[in-house]
Structure 1
């Protein structure tokens, strides 16, 4: 099921890429900088502090097409290669906002992998949940494009 739920959003995806490739695309800094924000957003390497170790924090800055920026931070909650990648995120670093939990479960499926991603959306109105769902759909397109690039290279 993909859609808006009472507590957040959920997205189910399938890919021909292996679970390990999907996990790597999600959790490696260079890949993260490529997919986080989508194709039209830049995440400069110098703004990225992203080493996916359980309990560690991460930071990134998105540079939007109009030149505006959004600072992000969070914590790696659960990092279990290649089946689970959970982290928190907020666009209000420095304690100004609630860190939402993002969970990604990855499993082998039909010669590739399936993934289910959820994000808590505390206090989001329905329109904001729908926008968050749309944004994550774009982000996951990038994750799977990176993961599937290995198949094309083989």
Structure 2
């Protein structure tokens, strides 16, 4: 299922890339800098701290096409290659803002991989959930493009 749910959003995708390539694209710092935000957004590697080990924290700055920036932070909850990756995130680091949980499950499927992604969206109005879903779909398009190049 891809769409808005009661508790958040869900996205299902398939790709010809291997599960290992999909997992690597999601968890490698350089790849993350390329896909987080989609192809129109820059995440400079000198403004990225991203070492995907459970318990570590991470930080990133998105530079939008208009020059504005968004700071992100969170922590890695679960990193079990090549099938499960969970992290928290917030776009208000240090502001006592709640972090949301994002989960990626990667499975072998039909000569490639299936990806199931969820994000909880506590207290998001429906319009914000829909915008979050749209954003993640752009992000995942780029992540799967990177995974395909790795296969």
TM-score bracket, normalised by the shorter chain, equals: over 0.9
Please, what TM-score do these two structures have when normalized by structure 2?
0.98
Q: Does the residue aligned with 1:33 lie in a helix, a strand or coil?
A: helix
Look up the match of 1:98.
Answer: 98
2:145 paired with 1:145:
yes
The corresponding residue for 1:108 is 108
2:66 alignment counterpart: 66
Per the alignment, residue 57 of structure 2 pairs with: 57
Instruction: Tell me the secondary structure at the aligned position of residue 20 of structure 1.
Output: helix
How big is the alpha-carbon RMSD for the aligned residues of Structure 1 and Structure 2?
0.7
Gaps in structure 1 of 5+ consecutive residues: none
- What is the aligned partner in structure 2 of residue 124 from structure 1? 124
- Cα drift, residue 97 of structure 1: 1.0
For residues 30-60 of structure 1, what are the alpha-carbon distances to aligned partners after superposition, in whole Å with 9 as ceiling and x for unaligned?
A: 0000000011111011100000000000000
Aligned to 2:48: 48
Normalization by structure 1: what TM-score?
0.97
SS in structure 1 of the partner of residue 49 of structure 2: coil
Unmatched runs of 5 consecutive residues or more in structure 2: none
Where has structure 1 moved over 4 Å in runs of 4 or more? none
Partner residue, 2:27: 27
Aligned length: 151
State the match for 2:89 in structure 1.
89
Offset from partner CA, 1:123-148 (integer Å, 9 cap, x none): 00000000000000000001100000
Question: CA–CA distance in 2 between the matches of 1:116 and 1:130?
Answer: 17
